[in-house]
Protein backbone atom coordinates (compact mmCIF):
# COMPACT_ATOMS: atom_id res chain seq x y z
CA UNK A 1 0.00 0.00 0.00
CA UNK A 2 1.44 3.33 -1.03
CA UNK A 3 1.41 6.51 1.02
CA UNK A 4 -1.15 7.95 -1.40
CA UNK A 5 -3.41 4.89 -0.97
CA UNK A 6 -3.19 5.26 2.79
CA UNK A 7 -3.98 8.96 2.60
CA UNK A 8 -6.98 8.26 0.32
CA UNK A 9 -8.21 5.58 2.73
CA UNK A 10 -7.99 7.95 5.71
CA UNK A 11 -9.77 10.69 3.75
CA UNK A 12 -12.57 8.28 2.83
CA UNK A 13 -12.90 7.17 6.47
CA UNK A 14 -13.12 10.78 7.67
CA UNK A 15 -15.74 11.59 5.03
CA UNK A 16 -17.81 8.55 6.06
CA UNK A 17 -17.54 9.65 9.70
CA UNK A 18 -18.71 13.15 8.84
CA UNK A 19 -21.67 11.74 6.92
CA UNK A 20 -22.58 9.54 9.89
CA UNK A 21 -22.36 12.58 12.19
CA UNK A 22 -24.65 14.54 9.86
CA UNK A 23 -27.16 11.68 9.89
CA UNK A 24 -27.25 11.24 13.69
CA UNK A 25 -26.79 14.77 15.09
CA UNK A 26 -30.56 15.35 15.19
CA UNK A 27 -30.96 12.43 17.63
CA UNK A 28 -28.98 14.18 20.37
CA UNK A 29 -29.41 17.15 22.71
CA UNK A 30 -25.79 18.08 23.49
CA UNK A 31 -22.44 18.50 21.79
CA UNK A 32 -19.48 17.88 24.12
CA UNK A 33 -15.84 18.61 23.33
CA UNK A 34 -12.86 17.52 25.38
CA UNK A 35 -9.18 17.72 24.52
CA UNK A 36 -9.26 14.14 23.19
CA UNK A 37 -12.76 13.53 21.84
CA UNK A 38 -15.95 15.00 20.44
CA UNK A 39 -19.29 13.56 21.58
CA UNK A 40 -22.99 13.88 20.95
CA UNK A 41 -25.12 12.97 23.98
CA UNK A 42 -28.61 13.12 25.43
CA UNK A 43 -27.57 13.32 29.10
CA UNK A 44 -24.62 15.36 30.39
CA UNK A 45 -23.41 15.77 33.95
CA UNK A 46 -20.33 17.97 34.41
CA UNK A 47 -18.78 18.22 37.87
CA UNK A 48 -15.84 20.42 38.85
CA UNK A 49 -13.63 18.61 41.35
CA UNK A 50 -10.44 19.41 43.21
CA UNK A 51 -7.78 17.27 44.82
CA UNK A 52 -4.41 18.29 46.23
CA UNK A 53 -4.91 21.82 44.99
CA UNK A 54 -5.60 20.72 41.40
CA UNK A 55 -8.93 21.40 39.69
CA UNK A 56 -10.28 18.81 37.26
CA UNK A 57 -13.53 17.97 35.50
CA UNK A 58 -15.53 14.80 35.80
CA UNK A 59 -17.92 14.35 32.92
CA UNK A 60 -20.62 11.68 32.65
CA UNK A 61 -22.52 11.23 29.39
CA UNK A 62 -25.50 9.03 28.69
CA UNK A 63 -26.79 7.79 25.35
CA UNK A 64 -23.78 9.07 23.42
CA UNK A 65 -22.11 8.97 20.01
CA UNK A 66 -18.32 9.28 19.79
CA UNK A 67 -16.50 11.05 16.95
CA UNK A 68 -13.66 8.61 16.39
CA UNK A 69 -12.76 7.32 12.96
CA UNK A 70 -11.09 4.20 14.42
CA UNK A 71 -14.03 2.98 16.56
CA UNK A 72 -16.18 0.25 15.08
CA UNK A 73 -19.07 1.05 17.47
CA UNK A 74 -19.59 4.77 17.96
CA UNK A 75 -22.89 4.56 19.86
CA UNK A 76 -22.29 4.01 23.58
CA UNK A 77 -24.63 3.75 26.55
CA UNK A 78 -22.43 5.76 28.93
CA UNK A 79 -19.14 7.61 28.94
CA UNK A 80 -17.07 8.86 31.86
CA UNK A 81 -14.29 11.36 31.24
CA UNK A 82 -11.88 12.80 33.82
CA UNK A 83 -9.73 15.64 32.54
CA UNK A 84 -7.61 18.56 33.72
CA UNK A 85 -8.25 20.34 30.42
CA UNK A 86 -11.18 22.43 29.22
CA UNK A 87 -14.56 20.86 28.53
CA UNK A 88 -17.11 22.51 26.25
CA UNK A 89 -20.80 21.54 26.51
CA UNK A 90 -23.37 23.04 24.14
CA UNK A 91 -27.08 22.33 23.99
CA UNK A 92 -28.28 21.79 20.45
CA UNK A 93 -31.29 23.78 19.24
CA UNK A 94 -34.15 21.47 18.32
CA UNK A 95 -36.26 22.37 15.31
CA UNK A 96 -39.84 22.60 16.49
CA UNK A 97 -42.40 20.53 14.67
CA UNK A 98 -45.27 22.87 13.82
CA UNK A 99 -48.01 21.22 11.82
CA UNK A 100 -50.44 24.09 12.29
CA UNK A 101 -54.19 23.87 11.71
CA UNK A 102 -53.83 22.27 8.31
CA UNK A 103 -51.48 19.50 9.40
CA UNK A 104 -51.78 16.00 7.98
CA UNK A 105 -53.26 14.53 11.18
CA UNK A 106 -57.01 14.81 11.87
CA UNK A 107 -58.10 16.46 15.13
How many helices (H) and strands (E) the chain has is answered by 1, 5
**For 45-49, which contacts have Cβ atoms below 8 Å and span 24 or more sequence positions?**
46/87, 46/89
Distances (CA, A) of 45 to 50, 73, 74, 75, 85: 16, 23, 20, 18, 16
Q: Is the pLDDT of residue 7 over 80?
A: yes
Measured distance CA(78)–CA(42) in Å, rounded: 10
pLDDT at 98: 47
For the chain, how long is the longest CA-to-CA vector?
63
Measured distance CA(28)–CA(36) in Å, rounded: 20
Vertex 40 angle, CA 49 and 16, to 5°: 135
Measured distance CA(23)–CA(38) in Å, rounded: 16
pLDDT in tens, 9-48: 889 999 999 999 999 999 999 999 999 999 999 999 999 9
pLDDT in tens, 58-103: 999 999 999 998 888 899 999 999 999 999 999 998 765 444 555 5
Amino acid sequence: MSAEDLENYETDMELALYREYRDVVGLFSYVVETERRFYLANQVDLQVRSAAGEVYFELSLGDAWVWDVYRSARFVKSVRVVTFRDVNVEELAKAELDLGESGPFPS
